Structure formats: C-alpha cells, structure tokens
Structure 1
Amino acid sequence: MITHFQYKALFKKANLPGWRISFYFRGAHYDGIYHKNGQIEWGSVPPPSENETDIQSQIHELMLFHVYD
C-alpha cells in the first residue's frame, strides 16, 4: 500500500499538465513524474518490478481523485 503520497505541478504559472509525485511503499521512498497520459517516469530508483503494476494502479486512482475530480 502506498503511504505519504504527494504531488506537485511540474510547471509554475503554466497550464501544462505533468506532476512530480513521491510516496512510500513498504518503507522505501519512490518518486517520479506522472504525465498527462498516465505514464509514470520513475526517478533514480524504480519500484520492484513484481509490485510495479499494483503501484501504478494505486497512483492512477490517487491522481484521478486529487487532480481530475
């Protein structure tokens, strides 16, 4: 389960989509960029491949709730 999820617009004072995201998963910190098409560009440390699909699904739900409501 994702905890401490945060997001912030990539561009200040611009109506361009894209968000910097960060969160914890099983005690490890992850970050990346969430693009308007739903693609996630992971930061320096990607999540474990066996959990990546589940993590992406949780992030999509959070972004739909917070950004696209």
Structure 2
Amino acid sequence: MLQHFQLRPLYDETKLPGWNFSFYFHQQKYTGIYHPNGNIEWKSISPDEHHLLALEKQIHDLMIFHIYDNQR
C-alpha cells in the first residue's frame, strides 16, 4: 500500500486540470503527474512491473476521491 499520498495542482490557475502527486512505497519516494485523461506520467523512476498496475489503480481511486468527488 502506498503511504503519505500528496497532491497539488499542476498549474497555479486551478481551473486548468493536471496534478503533481507523490507518495512512498516500500520506503521509496515516487513522483508523477496525473493528467486529466487519467494518464500517469512518472517523474521519478516508475514502480516495478510487479506493483505498477496495483499502484496506478490506487492512484486513480485517490484522485477520484480527492479531486472529482470533492467537486460535488
């Protein structure tokens, strides 16, 4: 499970979509950009293939909760 998930807007103008995110997994820090279409662009090394799909699913779920569900 990922820990210490943080997120901030990619642009100062918050109406433009895109978010920087970071988290720790197995004592390694990962950073990336979450694009409005759901694509994840890794700014750090990407997680190994064994964990990649599960972590991306957790990131999508967190983004839905923090960004899209909070706009209702």
Normalised by the length of structure 2, the TM-score is 0.91
Deviating above 6 A after TM superposition, structure 1's stretches of 4 or more consecutive aligned residues are: none
- Counting matched residue pairs gives 69
Query: If the length of structure 1 is used for normalisation, what is the TM-score?
Result: 0.94
Offset of residue 14 of structure 1: 4.4
| Identity level (%) | 49
Which has the larger helix fraction? 2
The CA RMSD measured in Å over matched residues stands at: 0.9
* Unpaired segments ≥5 residues, structure 2: none
For residues 14-62 of structure 1, the C-alpha deviation after alignment (integer angstroms, 9 at most, x for no partner) is 4111000000011110000000111000013111111000000000000
Q: CA deviation at 1:13?
A: 2.2
Correspondence for 2:10: 10
